[in-house]
Amino acid sequence: MATILQQQWSSMVAADLFTVKLTQGWGVQPVHVLVMMHLASRHIHIAGIVVEPTQTWLVQVSLNETDEAEGFLKEGAYVIHDRATVFGDRFTQTLAAAEVTTVKLPPRSPNLNARVERVIRSSREECLDRFVIFSKGQLEYLLREYTEFYNEERPHQGLKKQLVSGKQGKSEGRIRRRTRLGGLLSFYDRISG
């Protein structure tokens, strides 16, 4: 099994849904976010945000993500996901038509999708839990900022303190602090002079 995983690692994408609560009037409205992660590179992508995920919505998302020009799954041959009912036959068939195989995880096995679960936890702890979110537009903005930070500016222990993007800064020069979201997310680089 380990050999099979090593051979297919570069073509595996993990997907999971998580819930964020929007404050609306006197109540709270939950919305669902679909996040995908390319496991070899750790690159993350927010595939969609919806009030109630349905198979029809997920089929449209899978069509978008398998688009040859801009889809996140254009290089992925396997999508790993849990047993949520929304990941049903229509989702599987849509991805299969684009030559993407879905792998349904066994019941009650959150550790098998640990990397994407960790991203969800990090996005909550480092960003989402620090805001009162009033609208889907605000949530989209926060997730876009966090995703860019995660992919382009945040060093990762699992990648030997490297960036997901693979870009590395200068090794000499004055250290500069840059921020996102009003200083909530900070990152450092070096500048000449």
Block means of pLDDT (10 residues each) for the chain, 193 residues, are: 57 92 91 93 93 93 87 80 89 90 84 88 94 95 94 72 68 81 84 72
Q: Which two tokens stand for residue 153?
A: 């500016």
User: Which CATH number characterizes residue 101's domain?
Assistant: 3.30.420.10
- Domain contains 169: no
Report the pLDDT value the prediction gives residue 1, as an integer from 0 to 100: 47
> CB under 8 Å to 3, separation ≥6 — which residues?
none
**Per-residue model confidence (pLDDT) at position 154:** 76
For the whole model, what pTM was predicted?
Answer: 0.88
Residue 160 lies in a domain: no
Interatomic CA distance for residues 76 and 30, integer angstroms? 30
Compute the radius of gyration of the chain from its Cα atoms. 18
Alpha carbon distance 149, 161 (integer Å): 14
The pLDDT of residue 57 is 95
Q: What is the pLDDT of residue 4?
A: 55
Whether 53 is in a domain gets the answer: yes
Residue 179 falls inside a structural domain: no
SS3 assignment, position 28: strand
The answer to whether 13 touches 39, Cβ cutoff 8 Å, is yes
Instruction: Please state the domain count of the chain.
Output: 1
Range of the domain at 118: 2-152
Among 145, 180, 174, residue whose Cα is nearest residue 189: 174
In a domain, 192, yes or no: no
